A and B are shown apart, each in its own frame.
Chain A
Amino acid sequence: MTFKTVVLGAVAALMTSTAAMAEEMKMAVTTSFANSGLADVLLPEIKEDTGIEVQLLIVGTGQALALGAAGDVDAVLVHSKAAEEKWLAAGNGTHRTEIMYNDFVFVGPQADPAEAGAAEAATGALQAIAGAEAPFVSRGDDSGTHKMELRLWKAADVTPEGDWYKAVGQGMGAALNTASGMNAYIMSDRASWLKFANKGDLGIVFEGDPVLFNQYAYLPVNPEKHPHVKTDLVNQLEAWLLSDEAAELINAYTIEGQQLFVYNAGE
Chain B
Amino acid sequence: MTLTGVSVRRRGRSILGPLDASLNGGGLSILMGPNGAGKTTLLRALHGLERVSTGDIHWTDPKDAEGRNQGFVFQTPVLMRRSVLDCIAYPLQLDGVKRAEAREQARARANEVGLNVNLDQAVMFLSGGEKQKMALARALMRRPRILFLDEPCANLDGRSVKEIEEILLRIKDGGTRILMSTHDLGQARRLADSVLFLHAGKLVEQAIGDDFFRAPQTAEAKAYLKGEILL
Asked if the two chains touch in their complex, CB atoms less than 8 Å apart, one says no
Which B residues form the contact surface with A (CB < 8 A)?
none
Which A residues form the contact surface with B (CB < 8 A)?
none
